[in-house]
A = this chain, B = another copy of it.
Amino acid sequence: MLDWEQIFATRSSRMRASEIRELLKLLDQPDIISFAGGIPDPALFPDAAFKEAYSDIFSSAQVGSALQYSVSEGYKPLREWIARDVAKIGIDCTPDNVFITSGSQQALDYLGKLFLSPKDTALVTWPTYLGALSAFNAYEPSYDKLSLNGNRTPEAYRETAAKAGGSVKFAYLSSDFSNPTGETVDRAGREKLLQLADELDIAILEDAAYQHLRYDGEAIPPIMALDIARNGGDIEKTRTIYSGSFSKTLAPGLRVGFVIAAMPVIRKLVLMKQAADLHSSTINQIAIEHVASRGFDAQVAKIRSVYSKRRDAMLAAMDRYMPKNASWTRPEGGMFVWVTLPEGIDGAELLAKSIATEKVAFVPGKAFYADGSNANTLRMSFSCASEAMIEEGIKRLGRLIANAIPAAA
């Protein structure tokens, strides 16, 4: 019998079970009001469109190729559809600049694998997407705090990376309605980041998983679009790597996402995928293209309409029920509101109490910090609860928090 734990010690020291995983199980308990899972509401899935898509595939001559092995870069009509769709937001690229992944989580894993050697530095926002930390952790980097207001010099980043034993390899961020804060980087912040990336000569990984979910305010061009524009329209001269997903707009269960980048990046990703899982599901790529090309915009309009009302309900309930010394973000889109409580309040302890006495779930915020700091924060998702449940859940949570904060009680 092998001593597996000892064998895996080096490789897996950075792996940790996601706290979110445990929290997702709460969704199955009908008496819990859950603001925990950052997942789409299954009631909004375009099932009829997917039913037609699979049915059409099996009624056509395409069935043999839909069930067969396919190329690692992805199904060409889908890559063509994506290239046309992103052109609308200023990303001028060819279908060859588009690489299909098994969800945008796979893009993060592959990009971590491609860029990071142990001790290299990844710049991330503080907080950042928990799944990005999990993906990058496998490649043993250090993390440094990405500042989007330009108040850190390139030298400061270089010095911190050198102290960690490597160099800065990329800056990762979610530019629109980020997970976990719901915040959006404004145009000036995007331009400053491009400037910083130029000075550090590093790549920018732009995670656009929530890009289509804007409820109000004016759209800001993706960093990728700004990068293309400053390079005379030539994507081959850019340093941004853009990742997107159909998980929040169509359905996550098919596992279809994508990366858009200059050809040298795409070529490496194709080789990597060939060695790692050959290709993403052929039939699912065909089904996604089928549904997207027949009604993507209508589906996006439908989910925007529902989620925006839930966001409004959550913000209105917070205004009514949250104590004054708590603060929270006011996102223009996405699925999340980010709450900051007075220091000293621990989100994990609060969650335990909240589930026991109030039957309300959320995600404690410290999991989203590369250094596990800021225990006084909470991620609240409004995507899967009705407006009435949101009102009731925030009312209960506000009461609990008010009792937990002596000054506000």
Contact = CB atoms under 8 A, between A and B. Distances in A.
A218 B55 CA distance: 41
A125 interface: no
Contact of A138 (B102, B272, B281): B272
Nearest to A17: B271
A68 B40 CA distance: 8
A21 interface: yes
Interface residues of A, number: 82
Nearest to A276: B109
Given A203-B2, A281-B284, A109 B11 contact: no
B274 A134 contact: yes
Given A5-B264, A15-B268, A280-B255, A275 B43 contact: no
Contact of A255 (B40, B45, B278): B278
A160 interface: no
A151 interface: no
B68 A253 contact: yes
A265 to B, nearest CB: 6
B67 A254 contact: yes
A168 B151 CA distance: 49
Contacts of A201: 2
Given A45-B67, A68-B251, A251-B68, A278 B7 contact: no
Rank and list the top 4 A-B pairs by shortest CB-CB distance, nearest first: A253-B282, A42-B64, A4-B264, A67-B251
Given A8-B115, A102-B281, 20 more contacts: A1-B231, A1-B239, A4-B264, A4-B265, A15-B272, A18-B274, A43-B64, A50-B67, A54-B55, A65-B253, A66-B253, A67-B252, A67-B254, A131-B278, A138-B272, A252-B278, A254-B282, A254-B283, A255-B277, A255-B280
